[in-house]
Chains A and B, each alone.
Chain A
Amino acid sequence: MTAAAHPASQNQQSGKRTARVPLRRLMRVTVRQHRTTLFWTGIVVAVLAIVLAATGVPLHELAARGGPSWYGASRASVDFGGVLQALALLLQLAALLVGIFIGAPLLPREIQEGTAKLAWTQAASRTRWLLAQVLPLAGLALAAFAIGAEFAWWLSPFLHLATGRIGPLSPWWSLRFNLVPLLLAGWVVFAFTSGVFLGAAIRRTLPAMAATLACYGAVLFEVSASWRMHYLAPMHRAVAVQFQAVGSYGYSVYWGPHPPVIMSEGLGWPNGRLLSNVLQMRPAAWMRLHHIVMWITYQPGSRYHTFQAIELGWLLAASALLVAAAIFMIRRRPA
């Protein structure tokens, strides 16, 4: 091979070669690129805020007319119980939509339209590029926090009706537990990063959106329906029972200011072993003789904030892992 015919270009700026493109500039790229998405997100957030305000103001007026009494609060919960359920569903859906429409298409769109080949051959590394695509999400999390705060205001007339049971009036209610401001933000972040991860793995827009719907939906369902109640080992409590006849008995228990979430209850021996179905049919005298008690498995109401913190913690940790995995995949695989 002959030597180079022309001298090396004067553009050789070896000092600058290892310099990194500032994240701030890359984020400007992201914001400009997704301006339409941001616009529509803003519209949806505004609509949610207006719906909450439009239903929240009459609710508060109704509660105020009743005065700070049980009557006002109970009128509110009767008249607005349906609205509460609808709003809770709507907010759960909003977080899901973030994953499907903002997170999932993020990478497949670039890959399918070929623009990844443009973006990934510029000076910015893929890692920094993807970080800059993901970080403006902080704004979305902030919006979710604000909506969560508005929803907390909306709920305030209901609060002193909390019974500690699973149901719309309880802060433990599965459709409501994750709608407090921080957790709503956490779930929005998790939905988004799930979408980004699945997009990086699947690389096609529609399948990635469908997979996000399925995966996020499954996780949300499992967490709400069961996992959440196992963040900490449940507690057990034996309660004395008044036995009247076969299969007929009564008991009462005082829980204090924080009603618990009852997970299960059953008759059992004083040592904690539960009675079999056959033994449960023994006469009352037998029950009394063996000091049979009611064993209640429960999560104390005082754990509410601990559980919120645990859920926020794993959501954020999982989100960080998902982003790291997405970065790993786009670094390894072709554009």
Chain B
Amino acid sequence: MNAIECRGLAKRYRRSWALRDCGLAIPEGHVVALVGPNGAGKTTLLNLAAGLLRPTAGDITVLGGQRPGSGAARVGIGFVSQDAPLYGHLPARVMLAMAGNLNITWDHDRALARLADLRVPLDRKVHALSGGQRAQLALTIALGKRPRLLILDEPLASLDPLARHEFMASLMAEVAEQGLSVVFSSHVVAELERIADYLVILNNGQLQLAGGVEDLLAVHRILTGPGNGSPIDAEPVAVIHARQAGAQAHLLVRNSAPGAPAPEGWRSDPASLEDLVLGYLRDPGVRMLPGPAMAASAGGPEVTP
């Protein structure tokens, strides 16, 4: 079953396309990082999945074929919008009770216990809470309805590093405990490796890369070698991004098969998730999608040292 599935999905705001020709199938049970620069269409995609927007073209389903915004989808999805909007004039405790009244599958005791564990002052008004506490309250509300899919739009954006760490640690604990799927967007690239096991890169409103983190890391390498010449035309690799540093060139390449040997005269290192993300984001033209979409990379990008 797929947590989110879309085919030919597109969304246009007045004249500009926020999302184009988006085909994606995210299987259930993953923690999915949706990565891309500002304006890439991350929020649009997540709002479409949450049923807050309607597609201009194509279609999107969630939780194995449910229409976003339908009753089943609203019950099964916990959504935290960008900036985690809450009713600021209400105390946290009342905010929780209110969320309970808006839901059917609500576990109030668990939600209260969670906030107590996190030392969020329940009787303080929401706007008087710190950014981290507000984010935790919003997450608690989303988790309180015991969703099967949790969608978080930039949950880390407003948090300092410490709060960021705590937020992610508590989220991971919930994921381990409840076995829910999580899709979160972020433009914080560091630390993704520890959190996400599935990566989706969105750039300029188009999907660039999607796949399990381990699978992706297995087929991507960093090649370091002489700065001039293009020695790798013989190899079955596609160069995703080339960077010139002094006399040396660093290439992010995608092997056709895992474990392929490095070409002669080049050093091959495993790519980190950060290398991979940055490499793709720097070359928005490259699209490497699983399955038939791989064909999109035929012709390959050119090395321009």
Taking beta carbons and an 8 Å cutoff, which residues of A are in contact with B? Answer: 1-13, 16-21, 25-26, 28-29, 32-33, 36, 113-115, 117-125, 129, 334-335
Beta-carbon contact of B2 and A115 below 8 Å: no
With contacts A33-B87, A118-B85 known, is A123 near B105, CB below 8 A? yes
Q: List 14 A-B contacts (CB under 8 A).
A: A2-B212, A8-B28, A9-B178, A9-B180, A9-B181, A25-B101, A26-B102, A29-B98, A32-B98, A120-B51, A120-B52, A122-B102, A122-B145, A123-B75
Check if A113 sits within 8 Å of B71, measured CB to CB: no
Interface centre among A17, A36, A118 (most CB of B within 10 A): A118
A115 CB to nearest B CB, Å: 5
Q: Pick from A1, A13, A36, A114: contact of B105, CB below 8 A.
A: A13
Judge if B40 is at the interface, Cβ distance under 8 Å.
no
Q: Once the chains bind, are A6 and B28 in contact (CB under 8 Å)?
A: yes
Chain B residues whose C-beta falls within 8 Å of the C-beta of A9 in the assembled complex: 148, 178-181
Measured CA separation A203–B27 after assembly (Å): 37
User: Does B171 interact with chain A (Cβ within 8 Å)?
Assistant: no
Q: Is B83 an interface position by the 8 A CB rule?
A: yes
A335 touches B98 (CB 8 A): no
B41-60 CB mask vs A (1 if < 8 Å, else 0) is 00000010011111000000
Give the nearest-CB partner of B104 in chain A: A123
Interface SS of A by simple majority:
loop
Chain B 1-33 against A: per-residue CB contact (8 Å), 1 yes, 0 no?
110000000000000000000000101111000
A198 to B121, CA, bound (A): 38
Residues 73-95 of chain B, each 1 if its beta carbon lies under 8 Å from chain A, else 0: 01111010111011111100010
Q: Contact residues of B with A, CB < 8 Å? A: 1-2, 25, 27-30, 47, 50-54, 71-72, 74-77, 79, 81-83, 85-90, 94, 97-99, 101-105, 138, 141, 145-148, 178-181, 197, 212, 290-291
A114–B141 alpha-carbon span in the complex (Å): 15
Q: How far is the CB of A227 from chain B (nearest CB, A)?
A: 39
Measured CB to CB, the closest approach of chain A to B73, in angstroms, equals 9
Q: In the bound complex, how far is the Cα of B86 from the Cα of A244, in angstroms?
A: 80
Determine the chain A residues whose CB is within 8 A of the CB of B79 once the complex forms: 117, 121
**CA distance in complex: A12, B52 (Å):** 23
Asked if A11 and B180 make an inter-chain contact with CB atoms under 8 angstroms apart, the answer reads yes
Q: A32-B98, A123-B105 are in contact. Are A113 and B29 (CB under 8 A)?
A: no
Distance between Cα atoms of A29 and B97 in the complex (Å):
9
Contact A114 B85 (CB under 8 A): yes
Closest 5 A/B residue pairs (Cβ): A6-B29, A114-B85, A122-B102, A117-B81, A4-B28
Q: Please, how many angstroms separate the alpha-carbon atoms of A6 and B83 in the complex?
A: 30
Query: Which single member of A4, A18, A115 contacts B72 (CB below 8 Å)?
Result: A18
Q: Which of B77, B89, B290 contacts A121 (CB 8 A)?
A: B77
Residues of B within 8 A of A8 (CB): 1, 28, 148
> Among the listed B28, B85, B98, which residue makes an inter-chain contact with A113, where contact means beta carbons less than 8 Å apart?
B85
| CB-based contact B75/A17 at 8 Å | yes
Min C-beta distance of A63 to chain B, whole Å: 47
Please, which residues of chain A bring their CB within 8 A of the CB of B82? 114
B2 touches A1 (CB 8 A): yes
Interfacial chain B residues near A129, Cβ < 8 Å: 102
Of A117, A123, A334, the contact of B102 (CB 8 Å cutoff): A123
Instruction: Report yes or no: B74 in contact with A334, Cβ–Cβ below 8 A.
Output: no
Q: Which residue of A lies closest to B141 (CB)?
A: A118
Sample of 18 more A-B contacts, CB < 8 Å, known A3-B27, A13-B105, A28-B101: A2-B27, A5-B27, A9-B148, A11-B180, A12-B76, A20-B71, A21-B102, A21-B103, A25-B101, A33-B90, A33-B98, A114-B81, A118-B141, A121-B74, A122-B74, A122-B102, A125-B71, A334-B54
A124: B residues at CB distance < 8 A:
74, 102-103
Chain A residues with Cβ under 8 A from B29's Cβ? Answer: 4-7
Q: Is the CB of A16 within 8 A of B101?
A: no
Q: Which residue of A lies closest to B27 (CB)?
A: A4
A15 to B181, CA, bound (A): 21
- Within 8 Å CB of B179, what residues of A? 6-7, 9-10
A149 to B77 Cα, complex, angstroms: 49
Which residues of B lie under 8 Å from residue A117 when comparing CB positions? 47, 50, 52, 79, 81, 85
Once the chains bind, are B28 and A119 in contact (CB under 8 Å)? no
Q: Which chain B positions have C-beta within 8 A of A1?
A: 2, 25, 27, 290-291
**A119→B95 CA distance, assembly (Å):** 11
A13 (CB) vs chain B CBs: closest residue: B105
Rounded to whole angstroms, the CA-CA distance of A5 and B29 in the bound complex is: 6
Question: How distant is B174 from chain A, measured CB to nearest CB, in Å?
Answer: 11
CA distance A332 to B87 in the complex (A): 24
Contacting residues, chain B, for A20 (C-beta < 8 A) = 71
Q: Is the CB of B86 within 8 A of A16?
A: no
Most buried by A among B1, B28, B54, B178: B28
Q: How far is the CA of A257 from the CA of B183 in the complex (A)?
A: 76
**Which among B99, B180, B212 is the interface contact of A122 at CB below 8 angstroms?**
B99
8 Å CB contact of A115 from B53, B86, B146, B290: B86
Q: How far is the CB of B209 from chain A (nearest CB, A)?
A: 14
In the complex the two chains form, is B101's CB within 8 Å of A26's CB?
yes
List B contacts of A26 (CB < 8 A): 101-102
